[in-house]
Amino acid sequence: MKKKDFVTLIFATVGGILFALGMCMALLPDWNTLRQGVVTGGLGLAVLLAMVPVRRKMSGKPAIVWNARAVGITLLGAIGAVVLGVGMCLTMVWNMLVPGIAVGLAGIVLLLCLIPACKGLQ
């Protein structure tokens, strides 16, 4: 295993666990830990975001690339994740099964569009 892969593994594991734990703390009312959950989730998100420039630096690339393609791919991923989340909320929170499934599928399709956007078609 290369050093950059090991560092990415550590960052992703720690950041993912902190983010998931923070989300559970914030969203489960029985725990009564909303504020602590937001802080923990924010810390996990910060670790995950710090992983990107660290990995790129270890690969010998510039930390952040600003071009239209990178911004578009980022927006597509963010919009796809939000649409998928809205579909999940419609289904599980507001008890609207059919519209929730339709919106969730639209989010999944948007996220699947990331594959050709990142890798390209051959």
Tell me: do 58 and 89 sit in the same domain.
no
Tell me: do 79 and 113 sit in the same domain.
yes
Tell me: do 5 and 48 sit in the same domain.
yes
**Domain endpoint, select from 64, 79, 106:** 64
Tell me: do 1 and 52 sit in the same domain.
yes
Distance CA(111)–CA(109), nearest Å, equals 5
Tens of pLDDT, residue by residue, the chain (122 residues) = 889 999 999 999 999 999 999 999 988 888 899 999 999 999 999 999 999 999 999 988 887 778 999 899 999 999 999 999 999 999 988 999 999 999 999 999 999 999 999 888 77
Tell me: do 19 and 50 sit in the same domain.
yes
Tell me: do 90 and 44 sit in the same domain.
no
- Whether residue 28 contacts residue 21, with contact meaning beta carbons closer than 8 Å, is answered with no
Question: Tell me, what's the pLDDT at 120?
Answer: 83
Tell me: do 56 and 6 sit in the same domain.
yes
**What type of residue sits at position 6?**
F
**Domain endpoint, select from 64, 88, 105:** 64
Question: Tell me, what's the pLDDT at 53?
Answer: 92
Tokens 């050093």 appear where?
Answer: 3
Question: Tell me, what's the pLDDT at 75?
Answer: 95
Q: Could you tell me the pTM of the whole model?
A: 0.67
Question: Tell me, what's the pLDDT at 101?
Answer: 97
- How many domains does the structure of the chain reveal? 2
Distance CA(64)–CA(43), nearest Å, equals 20
Q: Supply the range of the domain harboring residue 11.
A: 1-64
Tokens of 52: 């990107």
Question: Tell me, what's the pLDDT at 29?
Answer: 84
Tokens of 24: 């559970």
Question: Tell me, what's the pLDDT at 88?
Answer: 93
Tell me: do 23 and 52 sit in the same domain.
yes
Q: What is the largest CA-CA distance in the chain?
A: 51
**Domain endpoint, select from 35, 64, 93:** 64
